Structure 1
């Protein structure tokens, strides 16, 4: 018996995943949600088995998961038929890339070979308890995933440029950090406890950005946003992100105080991730992982995210020096 009722569809597509999300996934989830058949949804982009979108759909009470699968198959198969993608990845190139990424993430691939392009596979959704805890904690994380996906999809629908997405991701990283620790001095110390930027990675690491002045200005505004009362009613994307992160923080802190939340085994794998040193940083570690995942949803590349994290850390250090 499955632990949860989530339907997990992996849509393998070697074309433009933004188009797949906006033109196929968004109409699907809108129809399922508005029709009362789904109670929530979220997505990620991933490499295991080939480039794909992982779509998770929660059937509403009384709705058969097979009904969700049938609607998903109909929508995605139609999109693949009308918008076939060119299979640019070969079995050999996939094997090489997968080996590098699996070693870097310290995971075992779920697929041993490249999956058929323009296809859907249903893979059981496994909750990552080692990262997000159990019970109320992981349920709150999943609610945040739903909200995070909706915010990211909003930017995709708007046709946000790569630069606009990077700017949004930068602000979201800062909001995530500052929501957990508003004091820049203490936050700086937590950030600097993370792994070094020279850790081996399957890509070239970026050089630190020279845009520190602008970054500090953004950090100051995000610090004010986190503290502002009107963020509770502001319809903007960043305010929505701040509300979602704050709600998640509150549940995680409550679970931590009750002794129901163990420190995550590790944070995000990349340079600039927050290291879990014990219970005091458990909540920040989990929310930092969530910041990484919204970068993924926005198609911010790993090298670009590392650069944003470097810049965000430098901005926090500058704020700390000024306090």
Structure 2
């Protein structure tokens, strides 16, 4: 796809023999994708990049690299092929797996990129607020990807480490856009409910998950309250969190300010029309920003719904309001 800068996106699907929400995918990101991205940046070959985890056609990382067409074709792609073959001499280039499931891997063997396919990038322009807001969102994707690389590199083996980092990133982003606890809680209630519907389409299933969520919250309520409160207060007071999270907050604050300026000019679209005010400009965008950050961190949709539930409860919405799907 041709970018407004005259650059183009090279979109490559890196298929691997593992699960997308597990350390298998983390290793592909940290050992294959990130080193190549940093090489491209050091060489001046690309101006932007981002990645997402995906399971369609089989587990893979979608790596998108923005650069001049002649550089992408003459330097980046040949270098990527060489890089992939260094990691797995048997990797199949410009091919997808024949079966969509997780490929078998010999016991004790490290995860491998088995196939690499170039697939045209089709941007979700409507989802990200129209053509002007999309360009800002693509810059947000890089900030999110950089942060995910840094957080994944510091993850412990336990699942709670992954979820804890997702919770931190979620609170930061909600604070930047919602700005008040009340608005943040109302937003995360909607967000969690929507993702809950995605994983439990039947009412009984949703009730069972909410019961499980509530039990999980109740068992660690004091700790979680303190955790969310501490991050929210630090954001209120502009206190540092960590180098990685501070860089994420600073970068996404710039994205928010760019979007706010576009919205004031009527150039952020909501449901195909110019958003009439700032709140109705950011509210359709933020769920996707949160979801894609969770995706990059390897958090499942069910876990994502749970994190939204935790933030909602911690910011002050009672359990009954979440069950009713309306403000309490």
**What TM-score do the two structures reach when normalised by structure 1?**
0.76
Q: In structure 2, what is the Cα distance between the partners aligned to 1:67 and 1:252?
A: 34
Unaligned 5+ runs, structure 2: 19-23, 103-112, 319-328
- Residue 27 of structure 2 corresponds to which residue in structure 1? 19
Contact 2:57 2:101 in 1 (8 A): no
Any idea what SS the aligned residue of 1:171 has? helix
5 Å-filtered alignment, 1:240-255, equals 240-255=247-262
Q: In terms of mean alpha carbon deviation, does 235-244 or 162-171 score higher?
A: 235-244
- Residue 147 of structure 2 corresponds to which residue in structure 1? 151
**Is residue 56 of structure 1 aligned with residue 64 of structure 2?**
yes
Contact 2:10 2:121 in 1 (8 A): yes
5 Å-filtered alignment, 1:307-318, equals 307-317=306-316
Q: Deviations over 1:64-95 (max 9, x none)?
A: 444211111211233233799xxxx984868x
Q: In structure 2, what is the Cα distance between the partners aligned to 1:159 and 1:189?
A: 30
Q: In structure 2, what is the Cα distance between the partners aligned to 1:218 and 1:167?
A: 9
Match of 2:117 among 121, 128, 132: 121
Q: In structure 2, what is the Cα distance between the partners aligned to 1:217 and 1:230?
A: 16
Q: Deviations over 1:289-314 (max 9, x none)?
A: 11211111111122222111111111
1:122 deviates by 0.6
1:62 deviates by 6.9
Q: In structure 1, what is the Cα distance between the partners aligned to 2:173 and 2:28?
A: 28
Residues 264 and 73 from structure 1, CA distance in 2 versus in 1: closer, same or farther, beyond 3 angstroms? farther
Contact 2:53 2:62 in 1 (8 A): yes
Q: In structure 2, what is the Cα distance between the partners aligned to 1:92 and 1:235?
A: 39
- Residue 293 of structure 2 corresponds to which residue in structure 1? 294
Q: In structure 2, what is the Cα distance between the partners aligned to 1:221 and 1:122?
A: 44
Match of 2:187 among 190, 194, 219: 190
Any idea what SS the aligned residue of 2:151 has? helix
Residues 165 and 200 from structure 1, CA distance in 2 versus in 1: closer, same or farther, beyond 3 angstroms? closer
5 Å-filtered alignment, 1:50-129, equals 50-59=58-67, 63-81=71-89, 91=99, 118-129=114-125
Aligned length: 281
Contact 2:195 2:301 in 1 (8 A): no
5 Å-filtered alignment, 1:35-50, equals 35-50=43-58
Q: Deviations over 1:216-248 (max 9, x none)?
A: 2122122223223354xx752222221122111
Any idea what SS the aligned residue of 1:156 has? helix
Structure 1 vs Structure 2 CA RMSD: 3.1
Unaligned 5+ runs, structure 1: 95-116, 266-275
